[in-house]
Amino acid sequence: DIVMTQTPLSSPVTLGQPASISCRSSQSLVHSDGNTYLSWLHQRPGQSPRLLIYKTSNRFSGVPDRFSGSGAGTDFTLKISRVEAEDVGIYYCMQATQFPRTFGQGTKVEIK
Amino acid sequence: QVQLVESGGGVVQPGRSLTLSCTASGFTFSSAGMNWVRQVPGKGLEWVAVIWYDGSKKLYADSLKGRFTISRDNSKNTLYLRMNSLRAEDTAIYYCARDSHSVRFDYWGQGTLVTVSS
């Protein structure tokens, strides 16, 4: 199984300041079709996860442009350019290149 | 708009069975792969199973050891998860999530809580 490792696990941030989360996979996430199926999910307290970024760097429908994804191979990053109050919650990276699908442990983002 | 609504959760005794449902609307259900993902309250996400758009292929997490069965009825726009021989460690919120043609896990339901307890 591909192990997904996120850092940090907790990130206190100041409103309006940037935030960054890293995700490393134990194997390359490049699929045989050439795509890299690395996604980022956001889960607010008491809610279900929602997709933010897919295939490393594509923002999903309705996701604000302050969110961006980057990376390749085994190293990936989610950046929030200016954190807003609604961005609190837990962020997960996940891979859908291989079965079983696997998730990172989650990074809790909270406001200082 | 895309909607996924899970149902069927509740309290069940260890060793018993339970079937969850996920009713889809707002898209062509028969064209989408579907997943089940679970989350112990306060913990991380665990992928459970996937079924191909036409039901032709099903894959499961190894940890389930044949106790769970995923299925679908495209005429009813509904996804199912049959869970047998339930254990305390199966206690979790169960979510269904869609795989579209090029985007995996693009929409999620609100989840249904399963509590396995005597």
Is B33 within 8 Å of chain A by CB?
no
Model pLDDT, residue B20: 98
Cα A3 versus chain centre, distance: 14
Is the Cβ pair B108, A48 closer than 8 Å? Answer: yes
Model pLDDT, residue B17: 98
d(CA B26, CA A44): 24
Section A54-71 average pLDDT? 97
d(CA B93, CA B110): 9
Is A107 within 8 Å of chain B by CB?
no
B contact test, residue of A48, A90, A108 with most B CBs within 10 A: A48
Nearest chain A residue (CA) to B60:
A100
**Residue A39 banded pLDDT, cuts 50, 70, 90:** very high
Is the Cβ pair A100, B59 closer than 8 Å? Answer: yes
Kindly state the percentage of chain A with pLDDT values over 70: 100
Beta strand A10-13 with A107-111 is: parallel
pLDDT digits (tens, 9 = 90+) for B57-107: 999 999 997 899 999 999 999 999 999 999 999 999 999 999 998 899 999
Q: Is the pLDDT of residue B114 over 90?
A: yes
Kindly state the percentage of chain B with pLDDT values over 70: 100
Q: Is the pLDDT of residue A101 over 90?
A: yes
Is A31 within 8 Å of chain B by CB?
no
The per-residue pLDDT of chain B, averaged, comes to: 97
Model pLDDT, residue B65: 74
Is A37 within 8 Å of chain B by CB?
yes
Model pLDDT, residue B68: 98
Section A29-51 average pLDDT? 97
**Residue A35 banded pLDDT, cuts 50, 70, 90:** very high
Is B108 within 8 Å of chain A by CB?
yes
- Chains A–B, number of C-beta pairs less than 8 Å apart: 56
Is A5 within 8 Å of chain B by CB?
no
Q: Is the pLDDT of residue A15 over 90?
A: yes
d(CA B13, CA B109): 25
Nearest CB among A35, A48, A99 relative to B95 is that of A48
SS (H, E, C) A26-76: CCCCECCCCCECEEEEEECCCCCCEEEEECCCEECCCCCCCEEEEEECCEE
The three-state secondary structure class of A24 is strand
**Residue A32 banded pLDDT, cuts 50, 70, 90:** very high
Q: Is the pLDDT of residue A10 over 90?
A: yes
Section B18-36 average pLDDT? 98
Is the Cβ pair B109, A103 closer than 8 Å? Answer: no
